[in-house]
Structure 1
Amino acid sequence: MTAGAVETDTGFDRRLLAPMMIGSILNPINSSIIAIALVPIAVALGAPASQTAWLVSGLYLATAVGQPVMGRLIDVHGPRRLYLVGALCTVAAGILGVVAPDLWVLVIARVLLGIGTCAAYPASMYLIRMEGDRTGTASPAGVLTALSVTTQTIAVIGPTLGGLLIGLGGWRATFAVNIPLGVAILVLGLLFLPRTVPASGGQGTGSDWVGVALFTAMVLSLLVFLMHLSLDRMWLPVLAVGVGTAFVLWERRRTHPFIDVAVFVGNRPLVVTYVRAVLAATVSYSYLYGYTQWLQETRELSATAAGLVLLPTFVVGIVVSVTTGRRPQIRRKLLVGAVAQMAAAALILSTWTDAPVWYLVLTAAVTGVPQGLINLAVQNTLYHQADPGRMGASSGLLRTFMYSGAMLASAASGAFFGARATTAGVHELALFMLVVAAVLAVLTVVDRSLRAVDAAAQS
């Protein structure tokens, strides 16, 4: 079954866990670690905020497009080859970031990093489904919990890790860390990932490059608009709708489409899950980027101090994920998580310029509760709702929707902050977060399909 793996009849192959978890860490860590490095990079390279924003957007654009593409290729060809290619790209991106002479080479490094870190998460979800089928375990709760911790909950440690790395070796250390990690996942992938190809044999289903191109154009048009919201760019969402229509028409005519749109039309609960992912990510990344920027620019904390203030978010998120991961009540996790997001937004809305450290730590700790609950619940919901034969593509699309939420958060931060992250601006951002979290709560309450997911999770 696998290269060097231990196959059992009743249990998940534990030797798959290391490449799954370590590989899946890289994308969320790199998506958040840059939050604390933007100011030092801007100072070092003399770049304005409008240009350093591309360090964030470059990775998101590459990931939003690359995740479902990688996921579909994994569905067709199996996880091993795509995982290894991603590891090599990650190492190359780390090296390029270390030697980059200017900002735009750094942006290229971030784009390459986004591409390189795309494969691990859909590969992991594919492997979980494969092992679940082999062992007859309908809901491997422990493995899904571990994956949730490594893919999203751990993302919150990015600013803390970034602050420590910057303190030790400067901002280039936030790129250099990808070199040993990339080598590690390359070795683990070579040792343990399956060599087998899915039953489709890779015939036909991986050659829909017209569909990939149309999907890419649609996503890029929409996300670039979200990055720079303005009336003179209204042609971008119009273009996205036009290209999206062409994409749907093309895919419906294909025997082996890149994304089987008919599956999503007939799977409304899965579509609602993607919408929930957008809402939850919008709140989460508004905190990670907007609140972090306020801590540095108005509260005047150093990069290292700001990272340490955010550490309770990571700690609480991990504890919540681990303690609730094996409990099957997905709907309850979503509801409690949405309410906790509203509570965190209320704390930020009530903050003040010279708020004491204990208040900042309290805000970070409360924010960790939804970080540990919602991401786990959304991932588990997808596991039960997605077509098993398209688990890689469906998982990749989940990331696309999540990073759409991150783009919305970035656009909101830019609109409310302007040139500087003021206290008045962070209050406006918090009000925005409060409204989005309330919408998430309402959407969860009215979604009756979650009862079926809870029943499946308990089986």
Structure 2
Amino acid sequence: MTNKPRPGLAIAALSLGTALNPLNSSMIAVALVVLRQDFRLDVATVTWVITSFYLASAAGQPLMGRLADRFGPRRLFTFGMAVVAVSCLLAPFSPNFALVCVARALMAVGTATAYPCAVVMVSTLSRQANISSTRPLGRIQMANTSAAAVGPVVGGLLVSLVGWQALFAINVPISLLALIVVRQVAPPDVGRESGKLSALLRDSDIPGILAFIASLTLAMMALLNVMPAYRWWFIAVAVVLAGLFAWREFRFSPPFLDLRLLGRNRPLLLLYLGFAVFSAVYYFAFFGLPQLLQQAGKYDAGVVGLLMLPLAAMSVFMTPVTVRFIERFGVRSVMIAGVVLLTLASGALGVLTLSFWPPLVLVLMALMGVPYGVVSTASNQGLYVSARPEDRGVAAGIFQTCRYLGAITATVLIGVLYGPGVNQANWGLMVLVMLGLSAVVFVLALAWRKPGAVG
């Protein structure tokens, strides 16, 4: 007997599941200094706890999107939440930093199922609730925005009161709740394959996934100067693997990363590029500021989390406001306005090269929260209107991959720029990079048009 679908509760549970990935990507920001102390690491090495999560997420999202389209979003969502629960239950007992990074990667794979599955189910849930798809997408985006923004606050309290282990443990009850509710009230998977494991492995483009991950990893190792004597070898091999990856993706069906989808859909390609660069700007602030405030400003992790609270508040506030603006003015106009605000907020962060006065930090965090809520929400809506219905699962996966590529770029450059020291002078260099990237996002936002729009 199938339980009666309940769209409102299903959307709430899906939102809870999708929130886990941004929550975990942001909570770790205030734990970097503690992890460095506990495992005796340098700045470049500790960033691997971030990049391992993003590498696994970047590889997992497109694959999970395709699996959601093929095997059913409800089935895949519950599997992903189970992976999160198990990995996070075991992670606090990790005896070394390498296993912490492995646990983060497994958690990323599990949470990577949530967003593509939610996007695939939006059409059915909207029809059942007799509402526009803009509203459930807005709720899902609000959950993502809220989780990413609240992460430093929650993480700071957990790290201060319990330790970094609590950042894993908190995921267990959340993932189990999302799993149980979606299993009970989400619409059943209809017309999907059951499939065999052998067929799944054959169709999953394992060589493409491995080439993608290896290319990114070697490029990061070169930029972070992990092994100076082999730096140029790493770059050369990364370039070769990137070329082989592209060659493979154009010839394999179905590809891990559908490059043809990007080639035939210019609005989607522009949206992806803009969102990736926007994410790099945002994560410069998100991962660079907590380290600056803790080490140069001498603030406790819990205090840093509280100082970043206005970012959470403004992001949450701006998400439903942005949805209403989009309904009135359209995606493109709102996106352009958000990028202008992003540029202004990024420039304002340069004031921190002069002072760490707490009220000043609070104001700057609130300013940064505004463009995060606006651009994230507008990009999410832009994805939905740019992708064909039959491509939305895969498109949503690639969209999230763009977020992770931007975050990986930011964390690598943070490791490079903070390498000589975590201080106000090097933060000033980061602000200059953020302003340059903001200009790129602005150009891409101007070039984007809703499919079918003229001029």
TM-score, normalising length from structure 1?
Answer: 0.90
Pick closer, same or farther for the CA change 1:191–1:57 going to 2, 3 Å. same
Distance in 2, matches of 1:283 and 1:333, equals 18
The answer to whether the aligner puts 1:174 opposite 2:175 as a matched pair is no
Following TM superposition, by how much is the alpha carbon of 1:267 offset from its aligned partner in structure 2, in angstroms? 0.6
Following TM superposition, by how much is the alpha carbon of 1:131 offset from its aligned partner in structure 2, in angstroms? 3.3
Select 2:18's aligned residue among 17, 24, 42: 24
Partners of 1:87 and 1:182 within 8 A in 2: yes
Partners of 2:290 and 2:304 within 8 A in 1: yes
Following TM superposition, by how much is the alpha carbon of 1:216 offset from its aligned partner in structure 2, in angstroms? 3.8
Pick closer, same or farther for the CA change 1:45–1:218 going to 2, 3 Å. closer
Amino acid of the structure 2 residue aligned with 1:125: V
The answer to whether the aligner puts 1:121 opposite 2:115 as a matched pair is yes
Following TM superposition, by how much is the alpha carbon of 1:219 offset from its aligned partner in structure 2, in angstroms? 4.2
Following TM superposition, by how much is the alpha carbon of 1:156 offset from its aligned partner in structure 2, in angstroms? 1.7
Partners of 1:344 and 1:366 within 8 A in 2: yes
Select 1:282's aligned residue among 270, 280, 290: 280
Cα shift readout 1:196-253 (whole Å, capped 9, x = no counterpart) = 23467769995653634314412441354146416522124412332223223323xx
Distance in 1, matches of 2:192 and 2:173, equals 34
Distance in 2, matches of 1:246 and 1:379, equals 29
Aligned to 1:156: 149
SS in structure 1 of the partner of residue 356 of structure 2: coil
Structural mapping, 1:193-272, within 5 Å: 193-198=186-191, 208-209=202-203, 211-226=205-220, 228-229=222-223, 232=232, 233-251=234-252, 254=253, 256-272=254-270
Aligned to 2:384: 383
Pick closer, same or farther for the CA change 1:29–1:228 going to 2, 3 Å. farther
Aligned to 2:294: 296
Partners of 1:337 and 1:370 within 8 A in 2: yes
Pick closer, same or farther for the CA change 1:16–1:257 going to 2, 3 Å. same
Following TM superposition, by how much is the alpha carbon of 1:134 offset from its aligned partner in structure 2, in angstroms? 6.3
Following TM superposition, by how much is the alpha carbon of 1:259 offset from its aligned partner in structure 2, in angstroms? 4.9
Aligned to 2:358: 357
Following TM superposition, by how much is the alpha carbon of 1:188 offset from its aligned partner in structure 2, in angstroms? 1.4
Aligned to 1:96: 90
Q: Percent identity?
A: 28
Distance in 1, matches of 2:398 and 2:261, equals 13
Aligned to 1:422: 423
Partners of 1:145 and 1:326 within 8 A in 2: no
Aligned to 1:312: 310
Amino acid of the structure 2 residue aligned with 1:366: L
Select 1:131's aligned residue among 120, 125, 128: 125
Aligned to 2:394: 393
Select 1:72's aligned residue among 60, 63, 66: 66
Aligned to 1:322: 320
Distance in 2, matches of 1:354 and 1:327, equals 35
Aligned to 2:228: none
SS in structure 2 of the partner of residue 327 of structure 1: helix
Aligned to 2:407: 406
Distance in 2, matches of 1:167 and 1:336, equals 38
Distance in 1, matches of 2:23 and 2:94, equals 20
SS in structure 1 of the partner of residue 353 of structure 2: coil
Distance in 1, matches of 2:452 and 2:112, equals 30
Following TM superposition, by how much is the alpha carbon of 1:278 offset from its aligned partner in structure 2, in angstroms? 0.6
Pick closer, same or farther for the CA change 1:160–1:201 going to 2, 3 Å. same
Partners of 1:71 and 1:123 within 8 A in 2: yes
Distance in 2, matches of 1:71 and 1:454, equals 30
Following TM superposition, by how much is the alpha carbon of 1:318 offset from its aligned partner in structure 2, in angstroms? 0.8
TM-score, normalising length from structure 2?
Answer: 0.91
Amino acid of the structure 2 residue aligned with 1:345: S
Aligned to 1:10: none
Aligned to 1:9: none
Any stretches of 5+ residues in structure 2 without a counterpart? 226-230
Distance in 2, matches of 1:227 and 1:341, equals 30
**Further displaced range: 403-412 or 239-248:** 239-248
**Further displaced range: 206-215 or 234-243:** 206-215
Partners of 1:89 and 1:112 within 8 A in 2: yes
Partners of 1:219 and 1:240 within 8 A in 2: no
Cα shift readout 1:273-331 (whole Å, capped 9, x = no counterpart) = 10011111001100000122111111111101111111101100111112221332211
Pick closer, same or farther for the CA change 1:261–1:135 going to 2, 3 Å. farther
Distance in 1, matches of 2:358 and 2:2, equals 50
